[in-house]
Amino acid sequence: MDYKKVSERVKNAIGGAQNINHITHCSTRLRININDLKKVDIDKLKAIDGVIDVIYQNNQLQVIIGPDVAEVYKYFNSTDNNPSGSNTKLESTSKKKSNIWSRLIDFISGAFTPILPAIIGAGLLKGFIAIFNVIGILPTRSIEYILLSMIADACFYFLPILLAFSAAKKLDTNPYISAVLAGVLVHPTLIKLVTKGTALSFAGIPIKDVNYSSSVVPILLIVWFQSYIEKYLNKHLPKTIGLFVTPVVSIFVSSLIGLIVLGPIGSYVGIYLGMFISFLNNTAPWLAPTIMGAFSPLIVMMGMHYSLFPIAIQSISSFGYDSFFTPSGLVSNLAQSGAAFAVAVKSKEKVLRGTAISTGATAALGITEPVLYGVNLKLKKPLYGAVLGGAIGGLYIGLTRVTSTAIASPGILALALFAKTPTNLLNAIIGMIISFAISFGITMVIWKPKAVKQKDMRISSVTDGLVKNLKDVDDVTFSSGAMGKGMAFESKTGEVYSPVDGEIVMVFPTKHAYGIRSNSGIELLIHIGIDTVQLNGKYFKTNVNKGTKVHRGDKLGSFDIKEVQKAGYDTTIMLIITNTNDYDHVNTDVKYNTDVTSQQMVLTV
């Protein structure tokens, strides 16, 4: 993958760097806050070679790249990541148009996504320490155990500071002042006073004695409050005065409001959240893992999985373990892997089989977007198998009370998180095997691959003109073969004809593209010109609609070659077999760079 080229094409499709309000990434997605959604071309984004899928959810554009997302992200320079001036103003306008729930999910995701590497790294380290402790290499009382535990715990103990910085970046407020506010919450003096039970107050106003180490909600509330204080001061104070006054007022006011009001409110949220988790663990420990094991793929599709982090971290903070997020994610990911490997076993298509194997292996390691969008969701029935496998695996780990010591991307490599006891680790492995096996078995039964067409079928030219090799087309989406095999034409007449007997399944609103399904099952895309979607139908005419039955040689539409070229667009016509993988071969029946007529046979499948 050409990371720079993918980055540039993504920028172009979303309306340029000036349309980016804020951008970050998780393990598989670019997460972009857009200034003007009308400037985003979703279809163009989805057509980019290297983009798996595109979702607009919770006021955020999510471009799914896969494991290479960090490399693509590097080419979004720092000025794009944090544009200033008018863009900041546009962000607030955008937020007013979205509902509170969408803004909340967007804020939580934006706060947690940048700190994931620290959380995952520290979590895995805690897991390995637990393994070495269980097998006797690292005794509990050894200085090495104490030091390594300190290193692993540092991320979680000082989590408010990490969250403060990332939340401030998300809210476009000063992250260094936010870090100071978090430092106030975990300052040794405050911790010491709270531990001793000292009655705290300021100017006669009582301060609740709370230990804020490892907390989540309090610092998010405080940074949110800080952002309003700073914006108000920056708006009403001259810059020369604000340079000195704003930091002082922001730290002083936000710290006191945080200690007296927002911190305690956040702690109560954490307490009641902990009580709810405890209630589930004591009365129905199987419920949450079963539901999450089944529906994790749907939550991932909506991009909402990071919004569950506060619950998992609160569980670790309150009880020392996570009983649903990482355990249920483990069985869900293995279920998706099992479904993909069943596809690999049953499929007779070389490309699909290779995709299923590679993405299935990736899912087993903890990254599921490639297998979800590339195999299971695309084929539907394997996803049903994954849902059932994940549910039954989740039920098992719930009944056996499997827990993890930290949060990580759940997969085989994260098993160290379950090694606090040999029994817990064994049940985690059994849960993985159950979910993989059931998903594999169900998919083997309910999914039937499309039969590979053995009888040759002919496809005719779509216009009168010069036939070209698809590889010579000046658009990598087509020339790379990512859309499927086919050929290209330089039309002499501007008239476009049906190459098969069949049905029109799609007429693009801008009249520049047609989808046809032949009576024999061939799925074809006829795409007129490159980037001609931007003409919005100007110079194009169509004679058919979705559902129209057509015969080979029927006129589909036409376009004005000279006017389209005068507007600066390439008029090459692409004929693509979009279900190429269903066929053993696609043969070219004419020589490239020669003239052909409509109804002349040009391809055989």
For 464-499, what is the HEC assignment? CEEEECHHHCCCHHHHCCCCCEEEEEEECCCEEECC
The whole-number pLDDT of residue 96 equals 43
Largest Cα–Cα separation, the chain: 92
In this prediction, residue 7 carries a pLDDT of 87
- Give the model's pLDDT for residue 597: 92
CATH code for residues 458-604: 2.70.70.10
User: What is the rounded CA–CA span in Å between residue 498 and residue 459?
Assistant: 9
Q: Is it true that 3-98 and 458-604 share their CATH fold?
A: no
Give dist(CA 518, CA 501) in Å, integer: 6
- DSSP classification of residue 258: I
Q: Which long-range contacts (CB under 8 A, 24 or more apart) does 540-549 make?
A: 540/510, 540/511, 540/512, 541/511, 542/507, 542/511, 542/514, 544/504, 544/507, 544/514, 545/504, 545/507, 546/504, 546/505, 546/506, 546/507, 547/503, 547/504, 548/503, 548/504, 549/502, 549/503, 549/504
**Which pLDDT score, from 0 to 100, does residue 240 have?**
84
Handedness of CA 235, 239, 244, 245 (dihedral sign): negative
What is the domain partition of the chain in residue ranges?
3-98, 158-282, 287-446, 458-604
* C-alpha to C-alpha distance for 594 and 467, rounded to whole angstroms: 6
Residues marked as catalytic: 26
- Strand order from edge to edge, sheet including 555-559: 495-497, 555-559, 540-542
Count CB-CB contacts under 10 A for residue 318: 16
Q: In this predicted model, what pLDDT tens digit does every residue of 565-605 receive, in sequence order? A: 999 999 999 999 988 887 878 899 999 999 999 889 999 98
CA 584 to the chain's CA centroid: 33
Residue 466 pLDDT: 94
The terminus-to-terminus CA distance of the chain in angstroms comes to: 29
Class of domain 3-98: alpha beta
Give Cα 62 to chain centroid, integer Å: 6
The reply to whether the predicted model has a pTM over 0.95 is no
- Nearest CA-CA partner of 157 in 406, 410, 329, 416: 406
- Return the ∠ at Cα 15 (arms to 9 and 19), rounded to 5°: 120
Instruction: Quote the pLDDT of residue 594.
Output: 93
Residue with tokens 């949220």: 269
Torsional class of 203: left (φ above 0), alpha (ψ -120 to 50), beta (otherwise):
left
Q: What pLDDT is stored for residue 336 in this prediction?
A: 94
C-alpha–C-alpha distance, residues 125 and 601, integer Å = 63
Range 568-591 burial, b when 16+ CB lie within 10 A, else e: ebebbbbbbbbbbbbbeebeeeee
Q: Nearest 5°: phi and psi at 604?
A: -130, 130
Q: Which helix (H) or strand (E) holds 507?
A: strand 502-507
If you search the block for the tokens 């869900």, which residue do you land on?
Answer: 332
Q: Is 241 exposed, middle or buried (0-12, 13-18, 19+ CB in 10 A)?
A: exposed
User: Residues 68, 36, 568, 496: is their CA dihedral positive or negative?
Assistant: positive
| pLDDT digit string, tens, across residues 509-548 | 899 999 999 988 899 999 999 989 889 899 999 999 999 9
C-alpha span between 332 and 436 (Å, rounded): 9
Query: Residue 21's beta-bridge partner residues?
Result: none
H helix or E strand, kind and range, residue 201 = strand 200-202
- Candidates 416, 365, 410; CA nearest to 124 is 416
Report the distance separating Cα 278 and Cα 281, nearest Å.
5
What is the SS3 assignment for 375? helix
List the chain residues with pLDDT less than 70.
1, 26-27, 58-59, 67, 77-99, 101-102, 300-307, 451-456
Q: Which tokens hold the place of 13?
A: 């499709």
